[in-house]
Structure 1
């Protein structure tokens, strides 16, 4: 069967970008076994032929109604699929879905009937909120960065903006490229509605959210943008932990120095 990517360079490029990021997540050690998820809104790359494609799955329920997503299309990593396999064979380890007119269900349209991630309702809820608020974000990424998760085991770091300020202070690029910092969701059962609700609340003010003792969830203009923000935060965490392993508390940039960065680069915070 012909792939949906054939003759659609924009969609192919987007899926290739997703595969590239999946490879980075695996190479960094952030995606053990089937850990992590990627969901990307590809509606603006859909043509009339795709809109008329028949479903290759039955109708599946989202579990909630999301009117902002009516008729939208998403690429989703498959449930139980590994990032390292998504990197090599994205259309065998992910699928493209269509949100139906009831806004509460979806069908798979391509390329294979690979069931989307079990965390799809959480991802779609975030996408719906972004559309409702008129944001230009199209991608969500959930992954397990080792050093950031390790830092989340210290309650002293879990207060509002404590970890953001610490990570910003480690290297100027972190504040420049992740200017909203890191939101915090206290430990909550993975896949639960409470976790989704907590994430939505934090994403009102942040682009990246730490799930205590679990991982991070990021939104981005595209999948590479979401990855880049996680990557710079992870670099700062490594700098902090390396300094501690060398036996000293790193000085970090002062509040005055970070304020200078904010002014110089016209950052939001």
Structure 2
């Protein structure tokens, strides 16, 4: 059967970027077994032929009313699918879904009836918020960076912006390329609506949110941008943990130095 991405360069490019990032997540050790998820809003590259495709699944309830997603299309990693396989065979380990007219259910339209990630409510809630706020962000990445998760096991780092300021101070690039910092969400059951609601609340202030003892979610213009923010934060965490393993508390950049960066790069916080 011909894949939906064949003869559609714009759509194929976006799916290829998802596959590339999936490979990076696996290589970094952030995607054990079927860990982590990626969704991307592909509505802008969907043509009339795709819009007329009949569903290959029944309607599936999302569990939430998401009015801004009516008629939208998403490419999603499949549930129980591995990032290392998504990297090699994206259309065999992910699917294209269409949000139904009721704004609270979806149907799979291509290529295979592979159920999307179990954390779809969180992902779609993020996309619904982004569209509603006028954002141009289209990608959401959830992954399990070892260093960042380890830091959430220390209550000191769970206080608002405590981890943000620490990570910003480790290397100038983190302050420059993750200017909104890192939001913290207290532990909640994975895949729960509670987690979805908390994530959306944090996105009002942050582009990257940390799920305590679980992982991070990042949103961006594209999947590569979302990955890059997590990668940059992880580098800062590694610098901090390396210094601690050498027996000293890293000095970090001073408040004055970080303020200098804020002015130089015209940063929001």
- Structure 1 segment 3-18 matched on structure 2, within 5 A: 3-18=3-18
State the Cα distance separating 1:64 from its structure 2 match: 1.3
Aligned length: 269
Could you give the per-residue CA deviations for residues 219-249 of structure 1, whole angstroms, max 9, x where no partner exists? 1111101000000000000000000001111
**Residue 171 of structure 2 corresponds to residue 171 of structure 1:** yes
User: Where in structure 1 do 4 or more consecutive aligned residues deviate above 2 Å?
Assistant: none
Q: Secondary structure at the match of 2:98?
A: strand
Which residue in 1 is equivalent to 2:104? 104
* Contact 2:39/2:139 (<8 A) preserved: yes
Q: Secondary structure at the match of 2:76?
A: strand
Which residue in 2 is equivalent to 1:50? 50
State the Cα distance separating 1:40 from its structure 2 match: 0.3
TM superposition score normalised by structure 1: 0.99
**Residue 121 of structure 2 corresponds to residue 124 of structure 1:** no
Which residue in 1 is equivalent to 2:253? 253
Could you give the per-residue CA deviations for residues 151-180 of structure 1, whole angstroms, max 9, x where no partner exists? 111101111100000000000000111000
- Aligned equivalents of 1:94, 1:24: Cα separation in 2: 17
Q: Secondary structure at the match of 2:108?
A: strand
State the Cα distance separating 1:144 from its structure 2 match: 0.3
Which residue in 1 is equivalent to 2:28? 28
Any stretches of 5+ residues in structure 2 without a counterpart? Answer: none
Could you give the per-residue CA deviations for residues 67-106 of structure 1, whole angstroms, max 9, x where no partner exists? 1101000000000000000000000000000111111111
Any stretches of 5+ residues in structure 1 without a counterpart? Answer: none
Which segment drifts farther, 12-21 or 61-70? 61-70
State the Cα distance separating 1:189 from its structure 2 match: 1.3
RMSD: 0.6
State the Cα distance separating 1:26 from its structure 2 match: 0.3
TM superposition score normalised by structure 2: 0.99
Which residue in 2 is equivalent to 1:201? 201
- Aligned equivalents of 2:41, 2:246: Cα separation in 1: 44
- Aligned equivalents of 1:120, 1:220: Cα separation in 2: 17
Which residue in 2 is equivalent to 1:84? 84
Which residue in 1 is equivalent to 2:222? 222
- Aligned equivalents of 1:242, 1:158: Cα separation in 2: 20
Which residue in 2 is equivalent to 1:40? 40
Q: Secondary structure at the match of 1:18?
A: helix
* Contact 2:120/2:191 (<8 A) preserved: no
State the Cα distance separating 1:190 from its structure 2 match: 1.1
**Residue 59 of structure 2 corresponds to residue 59 of structure 1:** yes
* Contact 2:30/2:145 (<8 A) preserved: yes
Which residue in 2 is equivalent to 1:149? 149
